[in-house]
Amino acid sequence: MGGVLGLIQIDQSTVAIKETFGKFDAILQPGCHCLPWCLGQQIAGYLSLRVQQLDVRCETKTKDNVFVNVVASVQYRALADKASDAFYRLSNTREQIQSYVFDVIRASVPKMNLDDVFEQKNEIARAVEDELEKAMSAYGYEIVQTLIVDIEPDEHVKRAMNEINAAARMRLAATEKAEAEKILQIKRAEGEAESKYLAG
């Protein structure tokens, strides 16, 4: 019945793009609206204002020639006051964001050694967020937050790093064991000297 009368309902956290004879007319807020179809008014589409998340996996090479997979998580949303820009100016938001993330990660990670990438992941995330904020605000989107959630070196590199770490720990354990043996021998010798002294 609502379709015949031209009544439409727009859900919470959503806006609708209204066109009149194919030309943008208005942004309709949540609630009930009357669209007389006989006057050429129609809904071109809906736009969610909820925060959305996009996980981007990017393979790149570090300064010390190690290939790593960097996973960035971008949280974004369309701005209600720029809904027409968000609807009309960009056909695929996710691909656009992904392109910017690739660009920033592939520009910043190759300047760092592998250990620095792990230590400076917050700086990488900040660089991605700043670049996205500048680019996507023109299209009616806000970048809520960007996180580098995972950095995965090549499997061989990961195994080598674990072996280096294990060797360092074994070396430390051997040093500690030798130190304990040394203290034990000193105490034993002191005890024997004390007993001989007391024996006369």
User: Is residue 4 very low, low, confident or very high in pLDDT (cuts 50, 70, 90)?
Assistant: low
Q: Span 127-150, mean pLDDT?
A: 92
The answer on pLDDT for 54 being more than 50 is: yes
Q: Which fold has domain 52-153?
A: Tetrahydropterin Synthase; Chain A (3.30.479)
DSSP-assigned states of every residue in the chain: -HHHHTEEEE-TTEEEEEEETTEEEEEEPSEEEE--GGGTEEEEEEEE-S-EEEEEEEEEE-TTS-EEEEEEEEEEEE-GGGHHHHHHS-S-HHHHHHHHHHHHHHHHGGGS-HHHHHHTHHHHHHHHHHHHHHHHGGGTEEEEEEEEEEEEE-HHHHHHHHHHHHHHHHHHHHHHHHHHHHHHHHHHHHHHHHHHHHH-
Mean pLDDT to the nearest integer, 73-88: 92
As a whole number, mean pLDDT of residues 45-69 equals: 91
Share of the chain above pLDDT 70, in %: 91
Q: How confident is the model at residue 160 (pLDDT cuts 50, 70, 90)?
A: low
User: In this predicted structure, what is the pLDDT of residue 165?
Assistant: 67
pTM > 0.75: no
Residue 104 binned pLDDT confidence (cut-offs 50, 70, 90): very high
pLDDT score, position 72: 94
- Structural domain boundaries in the chain: 7-48, 52-153, 155-199
What pLDDT, on the 0 to 100 scale, is given for residue 74? 95
What average pLDDT does the segment 151-179 reach?
Answer: 74
Model pLDDT, residue 3: 55
Q: Residue 186 carries which side chain, given as an amino acid letter? A: I
Checking if the pLDDT of 2 tops 60, the result is: no
Q: Is the predicted pLDDT of residue 166 greater than 70, yes or no?
A: no
